[in-house]
Structure 1
Amino acid sequence: MGTWDIGPFANDTAADFAGDLDEAALEEREAMVRSVLKRSAGSADFLGICDGERAVAAAALVVAQHPEGDPACSNYGPSEPLPELPADLRMLAVDALDQVISNRSELAELWAEAANWSKWRQDITRLRDILGPPIPPQEEALFEI
């Protein structure tokens, strides 16, 4: 079936990743999420579509555990619980999502040709914004005239 929607688990690759997580022992699931994010975040040359789709799904799982995140509710996402994921996965997920939307990403290339590209990009940006470090407020400089 391939890809049927823009959600993080709305494609065969991500749905298969969710199934793999469900079949793995609880103590192995964090390492699986970390591995997917590392592989995508460290992509120096070109990020293939399957790695990109898994990275978006893994990042959505990290977002689901963030206080400001939405649950990763999907009919195709993992049905088994994940352990609490360590906070360091947040920045790894940000790096992976940055690669997913870069000009070195096959997934971004394919979505750029789709009619609902902007909605997909907004969803990726929303995930990234939740995980990204807050931008400190700038102090206003006071000048005397």
Structure 2
Amino acid sequence: MGTWDVGPFDNDTAADFCGDLDEAPENEREALIRSALGEAIDTLDYLDQDIAVQAVAAAALIAAQCPGGTPVTTPYGPDLPLPRLSGDLRAFAVRALDRVVTEPSELMELWEETQRPGPWRAGIGELRTVLAPQQA
């Protein structure tokens, strides 16, 4: 996997995922996002980095539509606008992010082996904060 920074779209796999979203008909884009999250959540054994990276990118796309979310302005994100995504995806994205940072996770292990795991973990935490349902 080619990775050049810690952001959710700063790697080849996430850029390819966003390209797939652009190529999909508009009415199928939410299903692709849901599938990326579900694949991570449903992986009980070792979570492959590619599955994890796609889940993080999907979560970032959902977070971008939430209050306090950061718009996706990177050239590696989707070129085409996404339709308004279903509200239930927020909790689904939180579950996927929690799985990405739970052992066994190849992506988490790879970041822990680097000189910069803190900024990556902080980015995941920021996404989770935006996505998490508000406490009453």
Q: Shorter-chain TM-score: what band?
A: over 0.9
User: What is the Cα deviation at residue 95 of structure 1?
Assistant: 0.4
Cα offset, 1:134, TM superposition: 2.3
- Look up the match of 2:61: 61
On the 8 A contact 1:21/1:29 being kept in 2, the answer is yes
Q: Does residue 24 of the first structure (1) align with residue 37 of the second (2)?
A: no
Range that drifts further, 28-37 or 66-75: 66-75
Q: How does 1:88-103 map to 2 (within 5 A)?
A: 88-103=88-103
Q: Return 5+ residue gaps in structure 1 as ranges.
A: 137-145
Say how many residue pairs are matched.
Answer: 136
SS of corresponding position for 1:8: coil
Alpha-carbon distance in 2 for matches of 1:69, 1:42: 26
Which residue in the other structure is 1:44 paired with? 44
Structure 2 letter corresponding to 1:125: G
| Secondary structure of 1:47 counterpart | coil
Larger radius of gyration: 1
Displacement after TM superposition at 1:45 (Å) = 1.2
- Kept in 1: contact 2:47–2:105 (CA 8 A): yes
Q: Paired residue for 1:120? A: 120
Q: Give the TM-score normalised by the residue count of structure 2.
A: 0.96
C-alpha separation in 1, matches of 2:25 and 2:135: 37
Shift, 1:106, TM fit: 0.4
Identity %: 53
Instruction: Name stretches of at least 5 consecutive residues in structure 2 with no aligned partner.
Output: none
Quick one: which amino acid aligns to residue 94 of structure 1? V
In structure 2, give the amino acid aligned to 1:101. Answer: V
**Amino acid aligned to 1:117:** P
Q: Are 2:67 and 2:130, in contact at CA under 8 Å, matched by a contact in 1?
A: no
- Secondary structure of the equivalent of 2:94? helix
How far the C-alpha of 1:42 sits from its partner, in A, is 1.8
User: What residue number does 1:133 align with?
Assistant: 133
Moved over 2 A (4+): none
> 1:56: Cα distance to partner?
0.5
Residue 76 of structure 1 is matched in structure 2 by 76
